[in-house]
Amino acid sequence: MKQSQTKVHPSVLERFHYSIDAAIDKPFNWKQMWRLLSYLKPYSKKLLPLSIFTVLLTTFIRLAIPILIGVYTLDVALKNKDFTLLTYLVAGIGGLYLLNYVANVYRIRWMNMLGQGVIHDLRKHLFSHVQGLSHRFFDQRSAGSILVRIMNDINSLQELFTNGVINLLMDMVLLVGIVFILFTLSPELTLAVMVILPLMFLISTSLRKNIRRSWQTVRLKQSKLNSHLNESIQGIRVTQSFTQEQENMAFFDGVNTESYDSWQVASKKNAMFRPLVELTNAIGSAVLIWYGATLIQQGSLGLGAFVSFAFYLGMFWEPISRLGMVYNQLLMGMASSERIFEFLDEKPLVKDNPNAKVISNIKGEVTFENVWFAYNEDRPALKGISLKMNAGETVALVGHTGSGKSTIANLISRFYDATDGSVFVDGIPIKDIKVEALRSQISVVLQDTFIFSGTIMDNIRFGRPDASDEEVKKAAEAIGANDFIERLPNGYETEVEERGNVLSVGERQLLSFARSLLADPRIIILDEATASIDTESEVKIQQALKTLLKGRTAVIIAHRLSTIREADTIFVLDHGEIIEQGNHQRLMEIGGEYHDLVKAQYKVLQDN
């Protein structure tokens, strides 16, 4: 293995841990196979039968031609000097080759369409299913590992569906056909040439298995390389600011070399494969010529039959080899499909009650009645929360980090369901309101606004795709985002990349406010940005906020004193419990936790 040239602290190389779930083959599982094959169902009326028909047609033509050339042309037509038959045979063989060509063109086209169609459907099914899963599912998995399943695992099934399944049929027919014809032509010669069978078997099982394992190692190493690369690029700013490039390079070098080495091993083994196959064929040919010549001399085998025999023997290896390959694909497919089905079998934890109703005009009153919630069983995040937020009121949630503020917000949107107790909107248990209806009237504005790739216009329109350009502009103007948008190179049509790195934090916030205002929700949940921005932007954001919150219930995870002070009710949280509640004035008078918090903030502001 190549060693890294860079000198770095050894602990660095132990820093990265990736959970790689590359395809390691699994034992064959019929139940899983049937489930996979059920994706062929939509094609069972047209594409599947057409593909099978062309496969069988080409197989029969391939089986027929050597007999026509050897036995009929040499042993019948030429031997009997029957030139009419010879002409027919030549025309017939020519016609069959032509038919074979046409059938092959369609076979390849239809089989590809079939395979691609299945992969398309499977990917669509998986994506739409994953999209509907609850937050908890995404808490437990990295985006990378989900991506791998939707892309790589499904891709690895592509080959199985495009070639594997149908070739299996072709190769079985071909193999049975060849063995049957060989025995019909000469049972003695067939038995003699079968000496190569054990060798063939050995190559197509153990050697292939060995090679397959090596390629799996290659894929594993590549996954590791991908994960590291992904993390490196995402974290490049941190790496550069801590000048950890050399250390990072050393790790990359290690992973890259591991990948290189695994390729070397796999390709060395692969290189042995073909010559070994040829050697086996050579042994078969030697037996054929030696024993075949003896049989011809004895008069028990015609020359034409011998020629046909040689043709079939040449074809014999092909299906055996391909069957080995399909078997490999099947085992790999088992591993991939197991992981795909694991996702498909995940049930969304938050789902509609059978009697859930669509409530389209909620007022926005939110009540918590003795709500308990735990992300992990042993560590409750909320401990018996009871609170009431009146419709149209602005509520501030304050408290130290990890006290449960975001969790309260998560329960209002029903990203999670309470472990115990109930949450009500307008006095109706939220489990009795259809999730879609509820969420369409709630807007969540996170600190780290997610900007999708597309134009500024598309991004503001995100929650209400039917809004006109005029409505988008009006929302942006109301928020005060218009100025900065018009200054961009193409105004509202400026393309912003995913995550919107080209926009400043304040600009991204204004954009998300405009997005929410346009969606016109009844309840707004806002995780106020902690990042300090300049005073001018601060004033702008405060004004934008006023516009956005007007006439709606607003739940603000508040960090700024100015926001907190103007809230109608402030809930002070501590370790998942509400310890104080009231407006600013009242809480200051009490002189408790809130009072201390405000004093501490003032001190920070004054020190700065």
Which residues contribute to the site for ligand ATP (CB under 6 A)? Answer: 139, 375-376, 381, 399, 401-407
Q: Which is nearer to ligand ATP, 364 or 399 (CB)?
A: 399
- Using CA of residue 470, residue 472, residue 475, residue 476, what is the dihedral sign? negative
Beta bridge pairs of residue 599? none
Q: Cβ 584 to ligand ATP, closest distance in Å?
A: 19
Cα torsion through 239, 241, 245, 248, rounded to 10: -20
| DSSP string for residues in 514-577 | HHHHHH--SEEEEE---S---HHHHHHHHHHHHHHHTTSEEEEE---HHHHHH-SEEEEEETTE
Q: Which is nearer to ligand ATP, 316 or 373 (CB)?
A: 373
Q: Cβ 19 to ligand ATP, closest distance in Å?
A: 17
Q: Which is nearer to ligand ATP, 177 or 399 (CB)?
A: 399
Q: Which is nearer to ligand ATP, 22 or 381 (CB)?
A: 381
Q: Which is nearer to ligand ATP, 100 or 413 (CB)?
A: 413
Q: Which is nearer to ligand ATP, 217 or 407 (CB)?
A: 407
Q: Which is nearer to ligand ATP, 324 or 404 (CB)?
A: 404
Q: Cβ 404 to ligand ATP, closest distance in Å?
A: 4
- Rg value, the chain, Cα: 35
Beta bridge pairs of residue 429? 424
Q: Cβ 169 to ligand ATP, closest distance in Å?
A: 48
Question: 160-186: string of b/e by CB count within 10 Å (b at 16+)?
Answer: bbbbbbbbbebbebbbebbeebbeebb
Q: Cβ 402 to ligand ATP, closest distance in Å?
A: 4
Q: Which is nearer to ligand ATP, 106 or 137 (CB)?
A: 137
User: Minimal CA–CA distance to 424: which of 378, 382, 368?
Assistant: 368
C-alpha–C-alpha distance, residues 311 and 285, integer Å = 11
Q: How many C-beta atoms surround the C-beta of residue 540 within 10 A?
A: 20
Q: Which is nearer to ligand ATP, 335 or 411 (CB)?
A: 411
Q: Cβ 399 to ligand ATP, closest distance in Å?
A: 6
| DSSP string for residues in 56-71 | HHHHHHHHHHHHIIII
Q: Strand, helix or coil at 134?
A: coil
C-alpha–C-alpha distance, residues 224 and 102, integer Å = 45
Among the residues of 364-487, which ranges form H helices?
Answer: 405-412, 435-439, 456-460, 469-479, 482-487
Q: Strand, helix or coil at 28?
A: coil
Q: Cβ 376 to ligand ATP, closest distance in Å?
A: 6
- Using CA of residue 512, residue 513, residue 519, residue 525, what is the dihedral sign? positive
Q: Cβ 139 to ligand ATP, closest distance in Å?
A: 4
Q: Cβ 233 to ligand ATP, closest distance in Å?
A: 25
Q: Which is nearer to ligand ATP, 118 or 525 (CB)?
A: 525
User: Minimal CA–CA distance to 454: which of 488, 498, 485?
Assistant: 498
Specify the pairing of strand 569-574 against strand 553-557: unpaired
Among the residues of 299-386, which ranges form H helices?
Answer: 303-344
Kindly state the helix (H) or strand (E) to which residue 216 belongs, with its residue range.
helix 208-234
C-alpha–C-alpha distance, residues 523 and 412, integer Å = 9
Q: Which is nearer to ligand ATP, 212 or 405 (CB)?
A: 405
Q: Cβ 508 to ligand ATP, closest distance in Å?
A: 18
Q: Are 469 and 455 in contact (CB under 8 A)?
A: no
C-alpha–C-alpha distance, residues 68 and 90, integer Å = 9
C-alpha–C-alpha distance, residues 319 and 97, integer Å = 20
Residue type, 85: L
Q: Cβ 379 to ligand ATP, closest distance in Å?
A: 7
Residue type, 403: S
Q: Cβ 572 to ligand ATP, closest distance in Å?
A: 11
Q: Cβ 565 to ligand ATP, closest distance in Å?
A: 19
Q: Cβ 396 to ligand ATP, closest distance in Å?
A: 13
User: Minimal CA–CA distance to 204: which of 283, 305, 319, 291?
Assistant: 319
Q: Which is nearer to ligand ATP, 295 or 529 (CB)?
A: 529
C-alpha–C-alpha distance, residues 566 and 558, integer Å = 11
Q: Which is nearer to ligand ATP, 5 or 376 (CB)?
A: 376
Name the percent of the chain in helix, strand, coil, to the closest 5.
Answer: 65, 10, 25
Q: Which is nearer to ligand ATP, 381 or 433 (CB)?
A: 381
C-alpha–C-alpha distance, residues 165 and 168, integer Å = 5
Q: Which is nearer to ligand ATP, 329 or 403 (CB)?
A: 403
Angle 208-234/303-344 helices, nearest 10 degrees? 40
Q: Cβ 408 to ligand ATP, closest distance in Å?
A: 7
Specify the pairing of strand 495-496 against strand 394-399: unpaired
